[in-house]
Amino acid sequence: MFGIDWETIGPLYVRAFGQTLYMVSVAMLAGGLAGLVLGTLLYTTRRGGLLQNRLVYNVLNFVVNLIRPIPFILLLAFIGPVTLAVVGTQIGTEAVIFPLAIAASFAVSRIVEQNLVTIDPGVIEAARAMGASPLRIILTLLVPEALGPLILGYTFMFIAVVDASAVAGIIGGGGLGDLAIVYGYQRFNYPVTLLAVITIIVIVQLVQVLGNALARRALRR
Amino acid sequence: MVRFDGVSKTFPVGKQTVVAVENVSLTIEQGEIFAIIGYSGAGKSTLVRLINGLERVTSGTVTVDGIDVTALSESKLRPVRSGIGMIFQQFNLFRSRTVAGNVAYPLKVAGWPREKRAARVAELLEFVGLGERARSYPDQLSGGQKQRVGIARALATSPKLLLADESTSALDPETTQEVLRLLQKVNRELGVTVVVITHEMDVVRSIADRVAVLDRGRVVEQDTVFEVFSNPKTETARRFVGTVIRDRPTSGDLTRLRASHSGRLVTAQVREGGRVGAILAGAAELGVSFEIVYGGISALQDRSFGSLTLELQGPDAGIDALLVRLREHTDVEEVAA
Ligand SMILES: Nc1ncnc2c1ncn2[C@@H]1O[C@H](COP(=O)(O)OP(=O)(O)OP(=O)(O)O)[C@@H](O)[C@H]1O
Ligand SMILES: [Mg+2]
């Protein structure tokens, strides 16, 4: 069907699909959480913030700016030694997840910071006037108040991580990107490339639709 | 209830410092509605924020209910803040929480158990007349309703002191009156001391007992509302009073009056129990005739006051004698041509 030899490609496709989902979801979970913490720290330590701290802010800000512009394919190689130390190997799916999570957490931290900045300072002032501690405000107010835009930001990030995960193949991480290049492009089997691309498009569309729906609920419009 | 002693607050702005509040001393009594009025940038918001320590003094002390808040650390201040309600011009409601959730938040902060919170929230929403809207979100409410939620939320922990920073400035005149009536109810029925910050003299006149006039960080006048309205002593206070009471001719009015009146013009204060009318009735005996050319009389805190500008005609000796009689009872100013 579709000019694809399902006998051989079928199992490979299923495996690649699983690898992509695995890489992207673990990286999003870990990176999303780390990015949330990092972004909240950026937001609260900035001037006029709840935990205003120039030194912490400047250091974090510098590190985020340092890591973020590095193209993912280079980051993969650049932090190889760290990956080896943390994951125990520099090749394979797990070895892709680590740099993917790192890249995601730095990008998410900016998204989180930018969305928290849009919270009306008056709302935080009201909570302070009630005697709420900075920690309570951070834990119970910041995320709920910015939830709608945060969901959209995470949706955007998820898609960026799917994009980045396509280069996993170069260190033996597999995934749909690898399938498209190795079995499609390099073997002149265009239908396989098309299959991988369509699958990625479908994943991205589904996530976007879901993200939009959740954000709409959070914003109640 | 609240005492400022020589309080100053400056902000560093670049290399310079901005003086927001300068050497303010004043006392707000338990149970009163105290207004602080001033133009934009006069330092009103800074002044109230010093009361609950959202802003810390540069010098001087602020005492709230016997506690020197200027001496407390940020963490020691929190329980004090919990006992002071605050409402804001932009309402500052939590958009992510329902009306009930907003009102419950300060109760959670104060450590109330869940069962007691629900009952308290219901009681508060009833008090502000929003019992039906508990499950609405702030975005679904009108401005007046939002401020009612703000008031319910501020009253949740039964504070003895309520700070209202421009609480009606974002509302239309009718809604403003509604909210002011509610603040009055809070003051009268719950015995809460209310500090009202405003730039509208109408707000002061509607609900305040006493008022402080703030001008560029300094308190230039401080008295009962009746006294400030009927006898403003500073130019700033006169301008504010002039925004709601137009019983004194401006220089423009005087020029116009001059053009059509040749007699001597005097402005006499009219006060509760004054006898301006009775004295004028005797003007004819002195050969003096009079005409009322400008003025008005209003009531404030159930007492009337105002001023009348008169044109007096007749022999100078007679007019002088009439002025002597008037001055025995009230302030009279001869207005220059
Ligand atoms: N955080 C701050 N940093 C620097 N300057 C400030 C700060 N807060 C207030 N000011 C300055 O202090 C002065 C008083 O400000 P404040 O907000 O208290 O005035 P206000 O009387 O409440 O004015 P408005 O009616 O516009 O609300 C202003 O000159 C303002 O620019
Ligand atoms: Mg202000």
The pLDDT, as a whole number, for residue B329 is 85
Task: List chain B pLDDT tens, one digit each, 337 residues.
Answer: 999 999 999 999 989 999 999 999 999 999 999 999 999 999 999 999 999 999 999 999 999 999 999 999 999 999 999 999 999 999 999 999 999 999 999 999 999 999 999 999 999 999 999 999 999 999 999 999 999 999 999 999 999 999 999 999 999 999 999 999 999 999 999 999 999 999 999 899 989 999 999 999 999 999 999 988 888 899 899 888 888 888 888 888 888 888 888 889 999 888 877 788 888 888 888 899 899 999 888 888 778 888 899 999 999 899 999 999 999 888 888 886 5
Contact A132 B78 (CB under 8 A): yes
The pLDDT, as a whole number, for residue A185 is 87
Tell me how far the alpha carbon of residue B45 lies from the centroid of ligand 1, in angstroms. 7
3-state SS track over B205-233: HHHCCEEEEEECCEEEEEEEHHHHHHCCC
The DSSP symbol for B89 reads: T
The pLDDT, as a whole number, for residue B85 is 97
Q: Both tokens of residue B177?
A: 């009156």
Residues of B in contact with A130 (CB under 8 A): 81-82, 86, 105-106, 109-110, 153, 157
State how far the Cα of B233 lies from the Cα of B222, in Å rounded to an integer. 10
Residue range A68-115, pLDDT digits in tens: 999 999 999 999 999 999 999 999 999 999 999 999 999 999 999 999
Q: Does A60 have pLDDT greater than 90?
A: yes
Torsion of CA B332, B254, B221, B24, to 10 degrees: -150
The residue written with tokens 């206070």 in the block is B237
Residues of chain B with a CB closer than 8 angstroms to some CB in chain A: 52, 54, 75, 77-82, 84, 86, 88, 90, 92-97, 105-106, 108-110, 137, 139, 153, 157, 163
The pLDDT, as a whole number, for residue B244 is 83
Amino acid at residue number B54: L
Q: Does A175 have pLDDT greater than 60?
A: yes
The pLDDT, as a whole number, for residue A221 is 63
Residue B261's Cβ-count burial label (10 Å; 0-12, 13-18, 19+) is middle
Show the ligand 1 pocket: residues with CB < 6 angstroms. Answer: B 11, 13, 18, 20, 38, 40-46, 199
Q: Does A6 have pLDDT greater than 90?
A: no
Instruction: Tell which of B89, B92, B136, B140 to mutate to test the A interface (max A CBs under 10 Å).
Output: B92
What is the pLDDT averaged over residues A64-68? 94
Nearest CA to ligand 1 atom 25: B40
- Contacts with B333 (C-beta within 8 Å, 6 or more apart), sequence order: B266, B267, B268
DSSP notation for B131-193 = GGGTT--GGGS-HHHHHHHHHHHHHTT--SEEEEESTTTTS-HHHHHHHHHHHHHHHHHH--E
The A residues from 160 to 219 touching B (CB cutoff 8 Å) are 218
State how far the Cα of A111 lies from the Cα of A154, in Å rounded to an integer. 8
Q: Which ligand is nearest to the CA of B49?
A: 1
The pLDDT, as a whole number, for residue A216 is 94
Print burial letters for A136-145: b (CB count within 10 Å at least 16), e (below 16). bbbebbbbbb
- Contacts with B174 (C-beta within 8 Å, 6 or more apart), sequence order: none
Specify the 3-state DSSP secondary structure of A131. Answer: coil
Closest CA to A38 of A7, A30, B277: A30
Residue range A123-141, pLDDT digits in tens: 999 999 999 999 999 999 9
Contact A122 B88 (CB under 8 A): yes
Closest CA to B229 of B244, B215, B219, B207: B244
Let me know: does B24 contact B58? Beta carbons within 8 Å.
no
Q: Both tokens of residue A20?
A: 């992509």
Contact A120 B106 (CB under 8 A): no
The pLDDT, as a whole number, for residue A18 is 95
Phi, psi of B129 (to 5 degrees): 75, 30
State how far the Cα of B133 lies from the Cα of B142, in Å rounded to an integer. 12
pLDDT band for A2, please (50, 70, 90 cuts): low
Specify the 3-state DSSP secondary structure of B73. Answer: coil
Compute the count of residue pairs across chains A and B with CB atoms less than 8 Å apart. Answer: 66
pLDDT band for A21, please (50, 70, 90 cuts): very high
The residue written with tokens 């369509």 in the block is A198
ipTM rounded to 2 decimals: 0.87
3-state DSSP percent of chain A in helix, strand and coil, to 5: 80, 0, 20
The pLDDT, as a whole number, for residue B246 is 80
Closest CA to B306 of B264, B249, B248, B250: B248
Strand order in the sheet with B33-38: B84-87, B161-165, B193-198, B33-38, B210-215, B218-224
